[in-house]
Structure 1
Amino acid sequence: MAAMSGPDPLAGILEALLEQVRAADADDLLERLRRADPVSADRVLAGLVLAGEGAARLLGEGTEPPPRPPRARVVVPVRDEDLPDHGRMTS
């Protein structure tokens, strides 16, 4: 396998993306995300954190995040009358 000469193109792309993220206003980005898709905003944010951690590892800059305590699952009961189409007949 031939040795690579010059910087890795993927590393350059990731560095440019990280610079944009660092320069962005986090509160503004969060508000825009919540307006665009309020239901999926938390999943998108979690995905971005995971992607950022992965990119940092690839670039060799990141350190392993400290272990987090397990989070409790919250169960929210939903009744039929809570559904938007409650009472409508379906064919």
Structure 2
Amino acid sequence: MTDHSTPPGPPRGPQWGQPAPASNGIRGGREVRPGTYRSAGPAEGGGSCYWARLRGTTGNDGEIIANGAGKSQATVTVLDTDKAFQTTGCQTWKRLG
């Protein structure tokens, strides 16, 4: 029998240097150091890899600084002025250099 007394916690965002979940994840503040990052592309079983550099985290489209989606590797440069980085359906993001 499964124990349902403790509800699961909120979904976790992508982990830098670890496999990123296929679900939505937003990282910001001290969690993302400025720099250039690369993902090999969509997570296994995923359709495409989506990313967005954000100036806020309310979900308003006006907060998107830059974004992209694709079925191949992605490279993104996160600036120190970015509030957050959002990614969905991508493999691990690794910092370059």
TM over 0.5: no
TM-score (norm 2): 0.21
Higher strand proportion (structure 1 or 2): 2
Higher helix proportion (structure 1 or 2): 1
Q: Which has the higher contact order (CA 8 A, sep 6+)?
A: 2
Asked which structure has the greater CA Rg, the reply is 1
